[in-house]
Amino acid sequence: MANHADAFKALAHPIRRDIVERLSGGAATVGEVTRGLAVSKPTISRHLRMLEEAGVVTRVVDGRTHRLSLDPATLAETEKWINSQRARWERLFDVVGEHLEERKRSK
């Protein structure tokens, strides 16, 4: 499984985020997911490859039909990391807030 850094890199581009958003409603074909994106097929392929390599998207090939879906395990791992960072920063902000309150009271 890819790590959360790979997932963040994959999600850094707006086209890839749009693809992920479209897949949030469920599995879809490559054509369904990329319809209306104003980029070439080779560009779409590069974006999809990056999402797949990062473990964000999986592909099942059935004949000529390629179905894409989100990999919930990768997204859950990324969410877990984000939540741990949020908790860490909230604790730091609490400490800074308490320090500022103490300074204000001591003046």
In this prediction the pTM is 0.73
| φ/ψ of residue 28, rounded to 5 | -155, 160
pLDDT tens string 24-69: 999 999 999 999 998 999 999 999 999 999 999 999 999 999 999 9
